Structure 1
Amino acid sequence: MAAKKALIVRGGWDGHQPVAATELFIPFLTDNGFDVRVEESNEIYADAAVMAETDLILQSVTMSEISREAFAGLRDAVIAGTGFAGWHGGIADSYRNNSDYLQLVGGQFATHPSKHPDELTEGDPANNYLTYTVKVTDPDHEIMAGIGDFELHTEQYWVLHDDLIDVLATTTHPVQPYHPWHRPITSPAVWTRLWGNGRIFVATPGHSPEVLQDPNVRTIVERGLLWAAR
C-alpha cells in the first residue's frame, strides 16, 4: 500500500517560528505512514500534479500573501479531498488580503487582548500572554476524546468566524475595565470544517513551539492532522 503524502508549507512572519514549530510534527507524520515534503513557499499550491497526490497539507504561514494561482490550487485540492490543517496564525491569520482564503478556513484572527496597560512593556511579546481556559465543547469527537478543559498561558485568540465550522473547543474573553467591549466574548479555539470532499482542522493555540508541546495542545494537533488527511 502506497504511503500517504503530507505537504508542509511554512513561512511568513518569523515570530511564530514556522520552521521549529513544524519540525515538531514531522516525526509524528512519518511514524503514521506519511511521506513528508517540506516547502518554504506557498507557490507549490499552484502545482496541480503535486496537489493531486497530496493527502494532507500542514500550513504554517502567518500573514504573507498568496498568488491567485496558488490559492486556486489550494482551494481545488481541498475540494477534491486533500486535508488542510494548522494552528494559530499559520492557518488562521494567513493571507489577510484574500477573502476567498478566509472563507475556506472559516475563521480569521482578529486580535489577542493584552494585559492591563500598567503591566505592558514596550516591544515585549509577553504583553499579550494571558492565562486562559480552553473549554472542550465536543468531548465525543475523536480529536477531543479524553481531553478535559485546560489552561494555557499564551496568546488568547479572538476569532471572527461563520457557523459552517464545527467547534470542538472554545475560549472566552472576559470583560475588563480597560477594554471597550461590554460582555464576555466566546471564540472558537479548535474547529473542523468540511469543504467539498476535503477536511479542514484549525487549533488557535500554537504561538510558539513551547505551546505546541503542551500535552493537550500537542495531542489535539496530532489527532487533527490525522483526522484531516484524505
Structure 2
Amino acid sequence: MTSASVPTRRALVVRGGWDGHAPVATTDLFIGYLREAGFAVDVHENLDIYTDTATMAGTDLIVQCWTMGTITADQLRGLRTAVENGTGLAGWHGGIADSFRASSDYLHLIGGQFATHPALPAGQRPGGPADHYLTHTVQITDQHPIVAGIEDFELTTEQYWVLTDDLSDVHATTTHPAREDQPWHREVTCPAVWTRQWGRGRIFVATPGHSVDVLEHPSVRTIVERGLLWAAR
C-alpha cells in the first residue's frame, strides 16, 4: 500500500440481531465502498465493542445493522459517549430504527422508532414476508447533500411507520394511506430519511433497506452511501 492509499479514517461495522434483515449480506454491500472512500473498516458481530473506550474514541463512523436484540447499560453508554464526542452513527431500516426496543435511551439517541409496517389488504396477501410488501413512494423533501438531485421514487417493500421527534432533520418521507381495512382514518406521513446532530456527532437513518435488493435500488444505494460519508467525523 502506498502512502497515498493509507486509510485516513476508521469505520466500525457492527452487525447482528435478527437474521431476517440479512445483517452480513447488507453490510457487505457497503464495506468496499467505505474502503474506496479511504476508511479502514473493522467488522464486529458483538455489541461489546461499544464498551471499548479506546476503539470507540478512534472510530470516525459506526455503521450499525442490529435489528431488535438487547443492549446493556455499559454498551449503550459507550455508544452514546462516542457519538456525543464526534463519532458518526449511520444505518438503515431495522438495523438502526428497530434496534434495542427496550431501551428508551437508545430511542432518544436515534430519534425514530419502528412502530409497524402495514400489511396488504387481507385478500391480496400472498403469504409470508411479502404480505408486508407495499408499493409506496419515497418523497424527497429538501436538497440536503444526502438527497440532492434525487427525485421521488417508488419501492415495493416494507413501508416503515416510525415514531419520531422534531430534533431530527427530515430529508425524505413516505405516506401511509387511509384504508377502510385499517383502524387509522387519515393519511400518516413518516420520515424515511433523516439526520440528527447529537453532541459533536452526526446520525443518519434511512428506513428503506429490508433486503439486499432494496439497498441495491439506485436511489436507495446513493442515499445510504452519501449518508455514511455525511455522518462520519
**Shared fold by TM > 0.5?**
yes
**Structure 1 counterpart of 2:113, from 108, 111, 114:** 108
Q: Are 1:130 and 2:131 counterparts?
A: no
Aligned to 1:200: 203
Amino acid at match of 2:173: T
- Residue equivalent to 2:3: none
Residue-by-residue CA offset, 1:50-102 (whole Å, 9 max, x unaligned): 00000000000000000110000000000000000000000000000100000
CA contact (8 A) 2:7 2:40 kept: no
Superposition deviation, residue 118 in structure 1: 1.5
CA contact (8 A) 2:157 2:214 kept: yes
Residue matched to 1:166: 169
CA drift at 1:2: 5.7
RMSD of the alignment, in Å? 0.9
**Cα-to-partner distance string for 1:176-201 (whole Å, 9 max, x where unaligned):** 11000000000000000000000000
Segments of structure 2 that go 5 or more residues without pairing to the other structure are 1-5
Taking every aligned residue pair, what percent have the same amino acid on both sides? 64
What does residue range 1-20 of structure 1 map to in structure 2 within 5 Å?
3-20=8-25
Residue identity in the other structure for 1:204: T
Q: 1:208 deviation in Å?
A: 0.2
1:225 to 195, 206, 228: 228
The one of 157, 172, 181 equivalent to 2:184 is: 181
Does the residue aligned with 1:25 lie in a helix, a strand or coil?
helix
Amino acid at match of 1:114: A
Please report how far the alpha carbon of residue 163 of structure 1 lies from its aligned counterpart in structure 2 after TM superposition: 0.4
TM-score w.r.t. the length of structure 2 is: 0.97
Correspondence for 1:31 among 32, 36, 43: 36
Structure 1 runs, 4 residues or longer, greater than 3 Å off: none
Instruction: Give the secondary-structure state (helix, strand or coil) at the position aligned to 1:100.
Output: helix
How many pairs were matched up? 228
Shift of 1:47: 0.5
Where do 5+ consecutive residues of structure 1 fail to align? none
Structure 2 Cα separation of the partners of residues 144 and 173 of structure 1: 21
Contact 2:12 2:63 in 1 (8 A): yes
What CA deviation, in whole Å up to 9, does each residue of 1:132-172 have, x standing for no partner? 0000001x210011101000000000000000000000000
2:18 and 2:102 map into 1 onto residues whose CA distance is 15
